[in-house]
Chains A and B, each alone.
Chain A
């Protein structure tokens, strides 16, 4: 069913009680051409682009919980493409361009809001690094500019730009095309698009084993039975190492909790995204009026989807440092997601030691912004058994060859 003003009107007459489900919930069949493990944004995007770009529709997406219930529903919804190195810049920019057309492409409003993303500099070192970064980003044809403190104050009047503050704001980079999108809508829209093209989306179906022989994948064991398949794409974020062990190889990934929280809803006051690596916080305001606040990962590794309070306390301290006006705001909800962090803070998207088994992992703290781009290149990799030019550098082999893509500056905090 195509969503439009007319379908909205038609359903208004029946008090919106007869909307059809956005996707089917079929039982798993015994065999598929491709099985995608993980029904988050990246997995659903992979299935969607497999069907849309490569006409491969005999596909199942297996999700152990519910769609978008992992990191897709737990991130702070920020989208940007201001990455330093060419490989990352091209990949994230491709994702941002797809985001810009995604609502129309999916016929589903993902509520993309290109409200601008500011990255603050608090000392001379920050400022120099920022200039280098902005210049590199502009050389890659991506919008980025530097603001001085007066320009920052004009844009974000509530930001504390006093020169006598403990960490004075000396400048900022601004990507105007950056912003936020509704994370649930991205997952639901992609699920609906994939389903409409014939992809089976199977929830509450956990993969418990990967069967392979002669170095090639044969199928997956699940809590709902064995499924034969020619190809398997694994996109499970924090649980990547667990799935890799099932297939018999190791990954350079560690799983950590990444916490975020939202405040009580308030009237519109903060119209862009502000990030600070130095004082360690980032904040935007959702359409509901809640401030959405995030910071860095918890230091120790964990699969618990919850973190420690000292981390929250630190990021609240940083928030008040930057925005004294928020000091009496109460916090509403706090949660954690399990992120898979690579040593170079860049993802692994590509082939594995097992033939026809592909992994897409290691996005760490910054996967949401890449969702459609990640699905686009991973679908290409699975369909052609060879990487797309955009993910050719993001192999597992780079940890052996040494060709790392060090994005700690872009990724350590600011997601």
Chain B
């Protein structure tokens, strides 16, 4: 069971939260100019990091707000919690 520190509500059990997948995937600024390969990369391709992963969570059964988490996908240790739109305070690392 993960203990996740919601930036607004404090530490709560993971089953209050929903996982939002990889963070920092930017929607194309000019969608009509994108090639099929660029769309595939945006829509489907994932880093799937083995190591420190930057990911999004939402406090579904709480304040309902989104935030970013830096979590190790091997040890499940959470190294940082930071706001949406903020630059990650730690660098993602590992394979995948």
Residues of A within 8 A of B (CB): 239, 241-242, 244-246, 250-255, 299-304, 308-310, 343, 399-401
Contacts and interface: CB of A to CB of B under 8 A. Distances in A.
B2 interface: yes
B46 A241 contact: yes
B45 interface: yes
A308 B50 contact: no
> Which of B13, B44, B73 has the largest number of chain A CB atoms within 10 A?
B44
A302 B48 CA distance: 9
Nearest to A255: B48
B79 interface: no
Given A251-B45, A309-B1, A300 B55 contact: yes
Contact of A302 (B18, B44, B76): B76
B94 to A, nearest CB: 8
Contacts of B47: 241, 250
A308 B95 contact: no
Interface of B: 1-2, 13-15, 18-19, 21, 36-37, 39-41, 43-48, 50, 53, 55, 71, 73-76, 95-96
B50 A251 contact: no
B76 A250 contact: no
Contacts of B74: 302-304
Given A252-B45, A308-B14, A310-B14, A239 B40 contact: no
A254 B39 CA distance: 18
Contacts of A304: 73-76
Nearest to B76: A304
Given A299-B18, A300-B19, A301-B55, A245 B96 contact: yes
A247 to B, nearest CB: 12
> Which of B15, B75, B96 has the largest number of chain A CB atoms within 10 A?
B96
Contact of B45 (A239, A246, A250, A308): A250
B15 A254 contact: no
Contacts of A299: 18-19
Contacts of B43: 343, 399
Contact of B48 (A246, A301, A308, A310): A301
B50 A303 contact: yes
A254 B95 contact: no
Contacts of A241: 46-48, 50, 95-96
Given A303-B73, A303-B74, A304-B75, A343 B44 contact: yes
Contacts of B19: 299-301
